[in-house]
Amino acid sequence: MAASTSEPRFNQRHLLDMSSLDAEEITTILDLADRFFEISERPIKKVPTLRGQTVVNLFMEPSTRTRISFEVAEKRLSADTINFSASTSSTKKGETLLDTVKNLEAMSPQILVMRHSEPGAAHFVAKRVNAAVVNAGDGAHAHPTQALLDCATIRKVKGKIKGLEIAIVGDIDHSRVARSDIIALRKLGANVRVAGPKTMIPPGLAELTGATVCHKLGEAVEGADVVMMLRIQAERQGGACLFPSTREYSRTFGLDSDVLSMSKDDAIVMHPGPMNRGVEITPEVADGPRSVILYQVTYGVAVRMAVLYLLAGKPPVE
Amino acid sequence: MSKKDRELENFVERRPIADAPGIQRVLRRLASEIVEKEDGVEDLVLVGIRTGGVHLADRMAKLIGEIEGQEVPQGQVDITLYRDDVLRGLPRPEIGPTSLPFRLSKKKVVLIDDVLYTGRTIRAALDAINDYGRPRRVRLAVLIDRGHRELPIQADYVGLRVDTEQNQSVKVELAERGMTDRIVLYELQAEEGEQS
């Protein structure tokens, strides 16, 4: 645990990606998340901190767990929440993203949580609004709160992050979770190995992030402290044929008990969801004693409370 | 460095209020007052307000234990998330742990803080406790009452009453925080701006 004597620091107006944060700021969020986690264990799971603050959840791409997680976090902080999703909105009627956002801004929200299928959408909006923007996923680019909740879960269960061997397996190229996780975990001093079909590993990944690229699952899992499985992002592959068949993928890169036994004895298994049981992970592993998948969901609320708390009520910085 | 410590950068020491034996005597008196007025220690719990009240709650629990020969359960509350100026007055992102390791219903709570001033901290602490359950009653014990209340809140057990000005600050320095036990009155240096 980071029981540092120096003052915790956080100098961000928005939360857009993990590249913008330094290790100290990430640690500030994780420390706060540990405190907010306690609120979920109280008889009354609510604090009055964001009373009178308005948070808009703008989801222009389907999402269940992230949207609900943000909503629970906002309600537990007593914020007023407004939900706006693409399926029910005027985007279907041809309104541009900027027009939608400007209209929402006229209701003076303090925080705008947004998900969009275009990489960079949150950055685009953040430059043009007064509200603090939280990126809840923009295409294959970034998903910072997922990376933060993964870090918080690992730190809670393993007691540290620095020096851990962390395997991330699956569709690395199309996964904003993988991208944000690798950046965050490297900043906190973990050793990251990635594995997946060659067609799903972005070129230059090792040079850019310091992660080790493995092309065999066993190589990545052997001796690992954490094994993080990812879903194949079929919707972002643009119809390209990146692997022969689901069955073959599952045989080569699916995590079952046999492969998992190559990891450390106390290794944990993670998955950001939604899971494809029987494809990237077998039900035995997903529901097994090593799995912390549901713990990730619980920690997600605490991490999002920490982020909202840090961004609320901050004046715009020059 | 706590927020109070940093605020004290512009303060000069005005006069000592109590030394180590003085603090010990006051705490002993408060402990016996609490035991007497609460009718013993049955269903009694002590809750320290972070950070100043927590060490005092520790000491009080020991003293009460010595008098009654029975341990008194202890908890602590951090009031950051309940402050009425949480978004404006937040100097930096830090929240301490809250821990109330007992069921509050039917309990007689004695809330403990070092210095009673505006009363806003106590208001926040009452709201926090309320989120954990409904105690039978809550009473307040403070080491120092320095006046200048901004809310209708009074202490049930007061160690020392000290007349102060708004530009002064009372600091309880304790061995548990790496200092010598003493209570000191500080005053804001004249050339500096106003201080809340």
Residues A269-311 have pLDDT tens digits of 999 989 999 999 999 999 999 999 999 999 999 999 999 999 9
Is the pLDDT reported for residue B96 higher than 80? yes
Q: How sure is the predictor about A5, in pLDDT bands with cuts at 50, 70 and 90?
A: very low
Asked if A42 lies within 8 A of B132 by C-beta distance, the reply is yes
CA gap B151, A277 in Å, rounded = 58
Q: Shortest Cα distance from A42 to chain B (angstroms)?
A: 6
Q: Shortest Cα distance from B112 to chain A (angstroms)?
A: 21
Cβ-Cβ contacts under 8 Å, A44 against chain B: 130-132
Q: Shortest Cα distance from B87 to chain A (angstroms)?
A: 5
Nearest one of A81, A158, A63 to A117, comparing CA atoms: A63
CA gap A44, B128 in Å, rounded = 10
Cβ-Cβ contacts under 8 Å, A315 against chain B: none
Region B107-112: what's the mean pLDDT?
97
- Chain A interface, best mutation among B1, B7, B86, by max A CB count within 10 A: B86
Nearest one of A261, A307, A264, A312 to A16, comparing CA atoms: A307
What pLDDT shows up at residue A2? Answer: 39
Q: How sure is the predictor about B9, in pLDDT bands with cuts at 50, 70 and 90?
A: confident
Structure tokens belonging to residue B156: 């049930």
What pLDDT shows up at residue A115? Answer: 95
- Give the strand pairing for B11-18 and B182-188: antiparallel
Is the pLDDT reported for residue B91 higher than 90? no
Which of B1, B86, B92 is facing A8, going by the closest CB pair?
B92
Residues A149-180 have pLDDT tens digits of 999 999 999 999 999 999 999 999 999 999 99
Nearest one of B31, B12, B66 to B143, comparing CA atoms: B31
**Residue B72, Cα to own-chain centre: how many angstroms?**
18
Report how far apart, in Å, the C-alpha atoms of B153 and of each of A168, A171, B85 are: 56, 60, 18
What pLDDT shows up at residue A1? Answer: 38
Cβ of residue A153 closer than 8 Å to a chain B Cβ: no
Q: How sure is the predictor about B191, in pLDDT bands with cuts at 50, 70 and 90?
A: low
Domain ranges of chain B: 20-164
What pLDDT shows up at residue A83? Answer: 92
| Residue A76: HSE in the Cβ half-sphere, 13 Å Cα cutoff | 26
CB B127, CB B78: distance < 8 Å: no
- Residue B43 burial class via C-beta count within 10 angstroms: exposed 0-12, middle 13-18, buried 19 and up: middle
CA gap A255, A287 in Å, rounded = 12
| Lowest pLDDT segment from A73-77, A310-314, B33-37 | A310-314
Is the pLDDT reported for residue A236 higher than 80? no
Residues with Cβ < 8 Å from A203, sequence gap 6 or more? Answer: none
What pLDDT shows up at residue A238? Answer: 72
Residues B163-181 have pLDDT tens digits of 999 999 999 999 999 999 9
What pLDDT shows up at residue A243? Answer: 76
Specify the CATH class of B20-164 in words: alpha beta
Which of A10, A28, A38 is facing B98, going by the closest CB pair?
A38
Report how far apart, in Å, the C-alpha atoms of A68 and of each of A59, A174, A273 are: 11, 23, 13
Residues A207-222 have pLDDT tens digits of 989 999 998 999 999 9
- Chain B interface, best mutation among A42, A76, A308, A314, by max B CB count within 10 A: A42
Q: How many CB atoms lie within 10 A of CB A45?
A: 14
Q: How sure is the predictor about A4, in pLDDT bands with cuts at 50, 70 and 90?
A: very low
* Residue A276 DSSP SS3: coil
Asked if A49 lies within 8 A of B95 by C-beta distance, the reply is no
Structure tokens belonging to residue B160: 């020392």
Structure tokens belonging to residue A59: 């989801």
What pLDDT shows up at residue A318? Answer: 36
Nearest one of A120, A157, A144 to A272, comparing CA atoms: A144
CB A297, CB A273: distance < 8 Å: yes
Structure tokens belonging to residue A226: 């954490």
Is the pLDDT reported for residue A28 higher than 60? yes
Structure tokens belonging to residue A63: 């999402």
Cβ-Cβ contacts under 8 Å, B87 against chain A: 49-50, 53, 312-313
Cβ-Cβ contacts under 8 Å, B86 against chain A: 49, 313
Structure tokens belonging to residue A124: 């685009």
**Residue A85, Cα to own-chain centre: how many angstroms?**
20
Cβ-Cβ contacts under 8 Å, A9 against chain B: 92-93
Is the pLDDT reported for residue A316 higher than 50? no
CA gap A139, A146 in Å, rounded = 14
* Residue A156 DSSP SS3: helix
**Residue A136, Cα to own-chain centre: how many angstroms?**
8
Region B17-36: what's the mean pLDDT?
96
Is the pLDDT reported for residue B1 higher than 50? no
Report how far apart, in Å, the C-alpha atoms of B96 and of each of A32, A115, A138, A149, A154 are: 9, 32, 34, 20, 21
Q: What are phi and psi of A30, to 5 degrees?
A: -65, -40
Residues B59-73 have pLDDT tens digits of 999 999 999 999 899
Is the pLDDT reported for residue B5 higher than 60? no
What pLDDT shows up at residue A87? Answer: 65
Asked if A35 lies within 8 A of B88 by C-beta distance, the reply is no
Mean pLDDT estimate for chain B:
90
Cis peptide before B73 (omega within 30 of 0): no
Structure tokens belonging to residue A159: 């007691």
More confident residue, A100 or A238: A100
A48: nearest CA partner in chain B? B82
**Which helix (H) or strand (E) is A306 found in, with range?**
helix A293-311
Is the pLDDT reported for residue B2 higher than 70? no
